[in-house]
Amino acid sequence: MKKRNVLIKLNLFLVLLLAPSASFAAERADIDVSIRFFDKRIYYVEDAPISVLVTVTNNGPFTYRFKLADERMFSIDFDVRTVTNRPVEPADFLVRKRTMNQQVFFREIAVESGESFSFIEDIRNYAELRQSGSFIIQARIYPELYRNAAFSALESNRLSLSIRPPVIPGPDGIPRAMDEATNAVLVRDRLPPDEVVRYTLTARQKSQWEKFFLYLDLEAMITRDGARGRQWQAASEEDRQRILTRYRTELESSIIDGDISTIPSEFEIERTNYGPEEGTVVVLEKFRTSGNYTERKRYTYYLRRRDDIWTIVDYVVVHLGTE
């Protein structure tokens, strides 16, 4: 009888011991961690950020709580490996932060049932990505902070990351564009004005940004605007490079000059005129709207020839209504 009581007590103790673990496992099964690129683009070896959006989703019936440190590397880690499954060395920034004797400040995040919580992290803060190649990324979130790593981590899906070699600087100091499909350097050919415009519009239809920008003289397009032109003239060479980069980014986002970056559903070159150094190309372009209408616009592109290469330096648009 005494032996039986001992067994009953032992079984009860094991049940009480394992119950929290089982409850925790069930809770974790309802939590989904996913990652995706925040601004998917072509990544190079240079130190431009590789931003990843991390999302924690609660698919369970109860509120889920976890600790999120002000210094995110105490709440999250990224396992970055080559395609041959070799781990990439941690970034110096990460090692310094985690080895410092410091107090970790955090806040408790409550994710209600059916809701999500997201934040953005730069992969370069976690892995030493100084070589070109292909990599596999997986995030791990530590609900009770990294210093309590014995508390199992939540793992995300895997992402494929491709990093290209450093871009090749052109004779003017501006990096040469690379063809995304072939990884070859894009070179301006001696095309006539109408073919330059056709090449540019076709590239935009295919969302091939590197080809779209190949024959655009961004400096000329910046200086055609009075305010931007004055800013350009007063800027140093280093500042001008930043202005060019910002202008290109804003064109891609249609923040400025949206007429030239909007994708035409179809286009027809109506007229081309050019002399030894300047030319114009008139194009009828059509754009599908959200309704059942097609918007028609007539573009006049202004081109200039320098070193026997024609580039687009300006444009005007006339709206022709819908059909």
- Let me know: does 284 contact 268? Beta carbons within 8 Å: yes
* Tens digits of residue pLDDT in 74-102: 999 999 999 889 999 999 888 888 888 88
* Tens digits of residue pLDDT in 209-250: 888 888 998 888 888 777 777 888 888 877 887 888 788 877
Same domain, 230 and 270: yes
Q: Provide the domain limits for residue 158.
A: 26-164
Same domain, 215 and 140: no
Residue 185 domain-assigned?
no
Instruction: Please count the structural domains in the chain.
Output: 2
Residue 101 domain-assigned?
yes
Distance, in Å, from the CA atom of 249 to the CA atom of 46, rounded to the nearest integer, reads 17
Residue 249: phi and psi, rounded to 5, are -60, -40
Kindly report the pTM of this predicted structure. 0.50
Region of 206 (left: φ > 0; alpha: ψ -120 to 50; beta: rest) is alpha
Residue 199 domain-assigned?
yes
- Which residue among 121, 143, 164 closes a domain? 164
CA angle centred on 153, ends 62 and 121, rounded to 5°: 95
Residue 166: phi and psi, rounded to 5, are -55, 145
Residue 182 domain-assigned?
no
First to last CA, the chain: 93
Same domain, 30 and 160: yes
- Which residue among 149, 164, 179 closes a domain? 164
Distance, in Å, from the CA atom of 211 to the CA atom of 200, rounded to the nearest integer, reads 7
User: Residue 92's pLDDT is what?
Assistant: 87
CATH of the domain at 226: 3.10.450.710
Q: Please, which pLDDT band fits residue 271 given cuts at 50, 70 and 90?
A: very high
Residue 3 domain-assigned?
no
Least confident of 17-31, 68-82, 153-167, 256-270: 17-31
Residue 14 domain-assigned?
no
User: Residue 107's pLDDT is what?
Assistant: 92
CA angle centred on 297, ends 205 and 258, rounded to 5°: 60
Same domain, 58 and 97: yes
Residue 20 domain-assigned?
no
User: Residue 148's pLDDT is what?
Assistant: 59
Distance, in Å, from the CA atom of 127 to the CA atom of 139, rounded to the nearest integer, reads 12
CATH of the domain at 43: 2.60.40.2360
